[in-house]
Structure formats: structure tokens, C-alpha cells
Chain A
Amino acid sequence: MDGITPQLVALQLFTGLALGAVYVLLAVGLSLIFGMLTVVNFAHGAFFMVGAYAGYALYQVVPNFWLCLVLVPLVVAAFGMAVERTLIRPLYGRGIDYPLLLTFGLAYVMVEAVRIAFGKQGLPVDTPELLQGSADILVGEFPLYRLFVIGVTVLVLAGLWLFIEKTSFGLIVRAGARDPQIVRILGIDVARVWLIVFGLGTGVAGLAGFLAAPMQGISPEMGGSVLTVAFVVTVVGGMGSLVGAIVAGVLVGVVESLAVLFVPEAAKVSMFVIMALVLLVRPQGLFGRAGLMN
């Protein structure tokens, strides 16, 4: 193709980074839940969608974007914890496919419930007043709202990292992931830890859904394509690795964006190509621990 200037490549690269930030936010909850609980959460996309709809419903009651931004992850996390407590907990210790099948079915129930409550056709969501328009980022114009999403993603990731690596509760979480039995013998309530981790993972998914709504509107099926991306990023980065999710999300976003420039037909396939290559060379993913699935 003609007309590919360094400036265009730079802008496309930045677009890829922004896209990657969204992907990271999608994947990190899934990765967290798998890493700690070895639950493959097929309802992750549905929690994403519930976050978007919760934001929409909440906004009708409290028309304040910033308040909703804080409340939505809490609401979805509470819902996620209820799901863990009532549906998933009885399945611990039974093999990895039990919670997988459960969450797979749960996703259908959630999508159908939202269709009944809000209708099939999807709803538009306005970008908050303050974040409309675009900003000059040296290589070109970029939507303010997407810059904001990158900022939120960075904050969330920093918070998660501090929480898991630097707090004493995080230490318990990490220990629980390594060897739940020993942790239990030490007198720690592992069930409570898992409950909180599940809430954390689903809460982040809900936040991602809330943030995605002004960019693409909301519809009951919006979680479907998200689940695919989240799984690809998680597999590439390594199941259960926070760093892996970050690196893989950004990698997938940037490659997809640059592919649009150079091989547009292959843009959508590019993430699967990356996944296939990683699986061939390093089956546990870039930053994954081997043997988690056993």
C-alpha cells in the first residue's frame, strides 16, 4: 500500500497500544481467577456484559459517570462473589471441567436474563461530557476517552500488583495458589480468599464492560467476542500470570493494529496466529507456570 508514512505507523502503533490496554483489562480478571482458583471462567464475557448493563441501569438512578465508575465494579464483584459462594464452591476439588461447564451454562443464563430485562436490540451509551473530543498526541489526534481508558487500566493494574505482591493478604492469596492444603493447615480460611479473588476478577471484568460501553454501545451479546480475546491473551501470556496478561494484551493489540496497515486481510486472524506460535514454542504461555492444568 502507498502512503504509509512514519507518522501513520506511529499513530497506528499508539492505537495498538490503546487497543492492547483494553485487551489487558479484559484478560486480567480471567487470568487471575484461573491462576488462583484453577477455575476456567467461561462466564467472563457475560460478567463484562453485566458490567456494561449495570453501568447503564445505575446511570439512570445516579447520573454521574464518576460515581458509576466506582460503583459498577463493586456491584459486579458482589454478584460474582454470590455466584462463587452458591454455584462454584460446591465444585472445588472435582476436576477442572466441572466449573468450566457450569460457567459455560451460566453465561447463557446471564445473556438471556439481560435480553429479557433490557431487550435484545442493544442500547447506545454517551461518552461523558468531560471526555469527549480528541487530544493532540504529537503524531496525530486521539480520542480523549481512549486515553482515559489507558489511564484507568494502568491504575487498576498497579493496584492489583500492589495488592497481590505487597500486602499480607496478597501473600496469602499467592500461597493459596501454590498449595491450598498447607495454607489451610496454617489456620487460614482459604474459602474466603478464593471468594475475594473471584470477586476481584469479575469486578475487573465488570469495570472493563463499563468502560467499553461508551466506545461501542451495549448489547446482550457484547461479551461473546470479548471472551475470545480474553482467552487468547490469557493463553499467550500464560494462565494465571498478571505480567503475562499485560505483555500479551499489548502484543496482541499492537500486532492487530499494525496488521491493518500492512496485511489488512489478516488483521483479525493475527491474534490466533500469535496464539498458535506461542503454543507451539511455549505451551504454558510466555509467563505461565507449567503444569497448572494438571
Chain B
Amino acid sequence: MNRTTTLASAACIALAAWCAPAGAQTGPIRIGLPVPLTGPYGAEAQDQVRNAELAIREFNDAGGLAGRKAELLVRDDKLNPAEAATRALELIEKDHVDFIVGSLSAATQLAVNNVTRQRKVPYISISQSDAINEAADFSRYTFHESLNPHMTTQAVGRYAFRKGMRIAFLTADYAYGQEMTRGFTRVAKEVGATVVGEIRHPLGATDYSPYLPRLMALRPDVVVFNNFGRDNQISIKQAGEFGLKGRTKFVTPVLTYTSRVAAGARVYDGVVGGSSYYWAIESTTPSARALNDRYRRAYNGAVPSDYGSMAYSAVRSLLQAVKAAGTSDTEKVVDALAALRYDTYKGPQSYRACDHQSMQSVLVIQSKAAPQGSPDIFSVLQVAPASADALRSCAELGFK
């Protein structure tokens, strides 16, 4: 079987233009998953792999696409846009994947998207980005399963900011942080709060002490940590040690399960943030319960994280579209995805027509004290329902 596939692909290379689509219809359905396994976002990335594998197994156990199984190809993009682009290119050219899901950074997903849209390979990105929605970066093959900074900051900002409050930002100086700052600045203006300053730090910084006295001197009511992963954990920890927490409220756009578990209750005590998913919504959401149970069975009773479950949803909805289309043919699957109404893990979702942004609920959560090892670490403060109103209008994104 394997040799036949090799031979077939060898033949395909020889006959590239005519043979490629036909060849793609016979072997397993291949999905590439480039994620930053090494580096400051490693914990989140590893849970994305676990979840994506879960979705693949579920599809295969249900018989696949009339017997055709799905296969996951995991690659480490090391949180580096150039590396991510190379890995994506390899996945397409060498491994002949049908689809790509992944990349956990606003910068790497744009790099991957650049590769996939040129080569007309459907790509579902699972990390926050505003740029990927905009007309300049959009393509028919680009889908965005993740929340985007605009909808996240709208939900979190409206919850945390009040008229007259002084808001300061500590921002990771790259696309993610900058887009979050832009989003929060907009909300602040809308609710009548004042932005008193922004301190930027390089991605992956380990000592935030030089930034903190300046931040304190701004006398903010709210400090927003526009950074992610290990950066988020270390900066919040060090800001707490500098005595900043007593006087100000700590807010972060995306409060991840993995960061809270890694850094512990004391570091994150009282921090408010947004989230795409928290396992406890299973009490009201049947699809969440289904995913959690599946995950618990597979991984010793643990629960899926927010960024992890997003990978599950992306792979599962993609394979759902494949089933709906009845084929892995690129154009037909893209049409099926665009028309898909799915509820894979958190309630109803669907892609908006103009930018393929997944319309979905946004949770506002707060870290709470919990015994070591307990998964019950957040309280859900608010759930903003799925709606196109939460997004920037198609016209604002540059679509005509």
C-alpha cells in the first residue's frame, strides 16, 4: 500500500498538472499541523496537538470518508514566521497535504497563510489575528476558527473598563500585542476610559523589571497585559512582585488555561481575561460535554484547554466539511466549509461570508483560587453570544 502510494506520488510529480487532483483523491486525507512546540508557547501548542489527534481519531473511528482515513502531520514551527512558512511549504510540496490547520501566533499564521493562499491549499488558522480577516490578507482558502483581537477586546474591554478609568498597556511588540492594544484603545474610547500609556517589550522577554516602574508611574486603574504564553505568566508574576497588583486591576485579552495552570493560582489571582473556551461550560453546552468526556477518556481525566480545543474544532469542522462535500477536492471543501453550520465544542458557529471569520461566543473569565491539580480554576463572568455584530464590518475590513 505504502509503496503504491509512493509510486503514485512519483507518477504525480511527473504528471503534475493533470494527475495531482486525481492522486489526492485516493490516499489518506492529510492534514498538516504546524505549531510552536518549542519556545514560550509550547504548552499551548502541545495541547493543540492532543486535541487535533482526538478529532482525527474520532473521524477515523466513524469510518472516515467512505473508508478513507484522515492523517495528521505535526510540525514544529518554533514560533518563527520564516520557519512556519518553510514547514508549510514542505507540508504542501513534499508531504502533499490536502489541508493545513495551525500556527499559534499572529505572526506565524500570516506567514503560513501567505504560502497556503498562493498554492490554493485550504488553511484554518487557530490563533488570534485581526490582519488575517482584512481584505489584503484574505483569500478564498483562508478560514479563521480562532477569536480575533477585535471581538476579544470588545468583550473583555466592555466588561472591565468603566468611564473615567485610567488604562495602561504592557504590550508584546509584534502583531498580536499591537492588535490587542488597538482593539482595547477603541473600546476605551467607546466607554469613555482614558489610555494613559503603553510600554512595549520584545517577544520572549524574561525580565520585566525595567518596564515596571514606568508602568507604575502612570498610576493606572487597569493594567492590560497584551502578551501571551510564558511572556504573560512571567510579566504578571513580576508585576505582582513589584506591588502593582494592590493598586490596579490586572486584565489580559486572552487568559489561557495552560498559563494559569503553569503559573499557579497566586500569580493569576483575580486576573480577568477573555477566552474562546472553558471546560466548565459543559454544564449548559452539550457539545462541550461531549468533547470533555472524549478528552478525559483519552488523556487520564484531564480537560482540554482553550487553544487546544480550538484545534479540535478546526480539524473536526474541516473533516465535517469534507464529509458534507463527499470529497477532499479543494474547491468543493472550501464551498462546504463556507456554508457549514457547526457545533463542535462550544455552541453554534459558522464562517462569515466576506472574511471567513468564525462567528462564535466570547467568554470573559476570572482566575480563582483552587487546590493544586484541580481543573476548576476560572469563574465565567460573562458570555458574549455569537454574532456578526461583534465583528468589524466587511466594509471596514476593505471588502467591497
Contacts and interface: CB of A to CB of B under 8 A. Distances in A.
Interface residues of A, number: 46
Q: Is the interface of B mostly helix, strand, loop or mixed?
A: helix
Interface in A3-27: 3-5, 8, 11-12, 15-16, 18-19, 22
B299 to A, nearest CB: 15
Contact of B210 (A8, A132, A257): A257
A257 B243 CA distance: 18
B399 to A, nearest CB: 34
A289 to B, nearest CB: 31
A264 B200 contact: yes
Given A124-B262, A124-B263, A141 B210 contact: no
Interface string B227-271: 000100110011001110000000000000000001110110000
Interface string B24-43: 00000000000001111011
Contact of B218 (A3, A124, A126, A219): A3
A152 to B, nearest CB: 16
A140 B216 contact: yes
A18 B207 CA distance: 11
B264 A124 contact: yes
A120 interface: yes
A279 B222 CA distance: 44
Nearest to A265: B200
Interface string A104-119: 0000000000010000
Interface in B34-81: 37-40, 42-43, 46
B264 A8 contact: no
A122 B38 CA distance: 10
B326 interface: no
Interface string B203-233: 0101101111110111000000000001001
Interface stretch (A66-74, A88-96, A142-150, A160-168): A142-150
A116 to B, nearest CB: 13
Contacts of A145: 241
Contact of B42 (A122, A142, A261): A122
13 contacts: A4-B217, A8-B213, A18-B209, A19-B207, A121-B46, A126-B264, A216-B238, A217-B230, A217-B233, A217-B237, A221-B39, A257-B209, A259-B210
Interface of A: 1, 3-5, 8, 11-12, 15-16, 18-19, 22, 115, 120-124, 126-127, 132-134, 140-143, 145-146, 212, 215-217, 219, 221-222, 225, 256-257, 259-261, 264-265, 267-268
Given A122-B262, A134-B243, 11 more contacts: A1-B197, A8-B213, A12-B214, A122-B42, A126-B264, A142-B242, A143-B238, A215-B207, A215-B234, A216-B207, A222-B206
